[in-house]
Structure 1
Amino acid sequence: MSSNIGIEIDQGVALLTMNNPPLNVATLQSTRQFNEALDGLASNGEVLVLVVRGSGERAFSAGSDISEFPDYLAAGNVVEKKLRYENETMVKLERFPKPTVAALNGLAFGGGLELAVCCDLIVADETANLALPEIKLGVFPGSGGTLRVTRRVGPGRAKEMMFLGEPISAAQALEWGLVNRVAAKGQATYEALALARELAARPNIALQACKKAIDEGAEMPDDEAIEQVLSLMEKTFASDDGQEGVRAFFAKEEPKFKHS
C-alpha cells in the first residue's frame, strides 16, 4: 500500500505532508495513515513542534474524497465508516501534546479546513482560499468545524461561512482571526517552518503546559481552570527549564533550555 503521508524531522520540527494530488483529498486510507503518523510523532522525543501541509501549490486539502460517498450512502454507514473515524483523527490532532502549525499552501475546503483549525496556529499563503462548502452538497461540516471554526471566528461569521458555503480569502481569514499569519505567495510552508523553529527554541514543557491550560481551561469552570493552571505552573517551575529560565534571568544570560 503506497503512503499518502510524508514525514521529515529536522532540529525538533516534524513536517507532515499530505500527499494525494492534485488536491490532497482525504480518503479512508489517507486518514488512517495520518492517524498512525500522529501516534508515531506524539511519542517521538525528537519532535518538539509539528507542521502540517499539503503537497504541491494548489491545495492544503480540499477535504473528503467525494468519490467514496456513494458507497457509504448506499450502505447507509457514512457516519460510522467515514465521519466518526475522521472526527477521532481531528481530535487526535487537536490534542497533539506539542505545538502544531498548519501551512495552508493553497485552498483549504471542507474537511481540509476542519483539519487546519485543529492546529494551534495557521499560516496561509496570500493566494489561499478557505471554505466550508458542504451546504452545497445538502449537508454541513461534520468533522468538528461547527465547533472549532466557531471558537475562532464567533458564531455569526461561522454561520455565514457554513450557510453560504462560499470561500473567503486569506486576508479575510486573517481579519476574522481564522488564521494567524498570511505569507507571500509560495511561502506558507517556509513561514510555518520558521515559526515552528522559533517555537522549538522555547522550553517545550512550558509550551505543552500552556497549550493544555488554554485548550482544556476553555471547557472548565473558572475555578477549576485556575486550579489546573496552578498545578501546571508548579510542574513547570520544578522542571529543569523552569529553573534555568529563572537562573538565566538573574544572571542576565540567555537561557539554555533542554526541554526537561
Structure 2
Amino acid sequence: MTIASDTELIVVETEGHVATVRLNRPDKLNAVTQEMSDALVRIVRALNDDQGIRAVVYTGTGRAFSAGSDISTLDQYETPWQFRNRRDYCDALRELRKPVIAAINGYAFGGGLEASLTCDIRLAADTASFAAPEVKLGWIGGGGMSVLLANSIGASNAALMLMTGDPIDAAKAQAWGLVSEVVAADQLLARAQELAAIIASRPPIAAETAKANLRAAWNLPQDQAIAYEREMQGITFATDDAAEGRAAFAEKRPATFRGR
C-alpha cells in the first residue's frame, strides 16, 4: 500500500518499513490548521492499515518542529464547545499503533510540544527548544500536555514550564528526560530514520505490543500493569514471529519476521 497525503502541508515518504511524516508549513513554523489535523487523521489510519510500515518518524520542515495550533485560525470555532470537540492532531497521533519517533528539528511549542510528547521516542536537534506558552495567552494545553509532561520531566519541572510558559533548550530537555538524544541538526533526520529502521527490523507484533504495554503501565496500578504485561507476553509468545525468533536463535541465523 502507498501512503499518500492529500495536502501539500503534510508530506509522507516511505523507505523500506519506515514512514516519515513531515509537517510542511515552514513559513508558519509548521503551525497546524484544522485541515492539517484532518489530514493527519487520514494518514494515521492508512499507516495503521499498512502492514508494510513498522515504524514512523514524525518531524517538521525548516526551523520548527511545530509551533502548535495556528492561533490565527482558532476564532473560526463558533463556540468554546465546538473548539473542545474539534478533531485534534495529538489525538490522531495517539491512535497510531506503530512505534513513532519524534525528530524535533526546531521549535516545539504548545501543541508541537504535546505532539512530541505523544510520540514514543524523542530525539532533538541541538538547536531545538521546547515551551508550553499557552498560559501567556490565557489558556492551557489540551492535548495531554500536563500529564505527559509531568510523566516525562517530573511535577516540579512540568510546573515550571506550564506556569511560566518560557522555553528550555535542547540540553536542558535532555537533562530533564524530555528527549533521549540530542544530535547535530544536520544529522537529526538520518539518526531518527536509522533508529526507526532498527525498530522496524524487530518483530512488528512484539514492537506494537511493547508500545501498548507501556501505555498501560502509565495508566494502571502496579499489580494490574504487571498482570497485563504477563498477558501480553503470552500473546506475543504464541505468534509465528516468536517461534521464528526462537528457531533462529537455536540455529544461529538471522530471523525473518513476517508480522504473524
TM-score under structure 2 normalisation? Answer: 0.92
What amino acid does structure 2 have at the position aligned with 1:12?
A: H
- Residue in 2 that maps onto 1:225: 225
Go from structure 1 to structure 2 and tell me whether the alpha carbon gap of 1:91 and 1:28 turns closer, same or farther (over 3 Å shift): closer
What amino acid does structure 2 have at the position aligned with 1:50?
A: V
Contact 2:47 2:96 in 1 (8 A): no
Go from structure 1 to structure 2 and tell me whether the alpha carbon gap of 1:2 and 1:219 turns closer, same or farther (over 3 Å shift): closer
Percent identical: 36
What amino acid does structure 1 have at the position aligned with 2:171?
A: A
What amino acid does structure 1 have at the position aligned with 2:35?
A: Q
Q: Secondary structure at the match of 1:52?
A: strand
- Residue in 2 that maps onto 1:17: 22
C-alpha distance in 1 between matches for 2:16 and 2:75: 44
Whether 1:157 and 2:157 are equivalent positions in the alignment is: yes
C-alpha distance in 2 between matches for 1:79 and 1:174: 37
TM-score under structure 1 normalisation? Answer: 0.92
Q: 1:80 aligns with which of 79, 82, 87?
A: 82
**RMSD (Å) for aligned C-alpha atoms:** 1.6
What amino acid does structure 1 have at the position aligned with 2:82?
A: E
- Residue in 1 that maps onto 2:52: 46
Q: Secondary structure at the match of 1:40?
A: helix
Go from structure 1 to structure 2 and tell me whether the alpha carbon gap of 1:217 and 1:185 turns closer, same or farther (over 3 Å shift): closer
Contact 1:124 1:181 in 2 (8 A): yes
- Residue in 2 that maps onto 1:100: 100
C-alpha distance in 1 between matches for 2:75 and 2:218: 38
Q: What are the ranges of 5 or more consecutive residues in structure 2 without an aligned counterpart? A: 1-5
Q: 1:62 aligns with which of 52, 55, 67?
A: 67
Q: Secondary structure at the match of 2:219?
A: coil
Residues paired across the two proteins, number: 254
C-alpha distance in 1 between matches for 2:90 and 2:8: 19
Question: Which segment is superposed worse, 94-103 or 155-164?
Answer: 94-103
What amino acid does structure 2 have at the position aligned with 1:43?
A: D
Q: Which runs of 4+ in 1 moved over 4 A?
A: none
- Residue in 1 that maps onto 2:249: 249
Contact 1:50 1:98 in 2 (8 A): yes
C-alpha distance in 2 between matches for 1:214 and 1:95: 14
Write the deviation string for residues 207-242 of structure 1: whole angstroms up to 9, x where unpaired.
111111111132123332223222211121111111
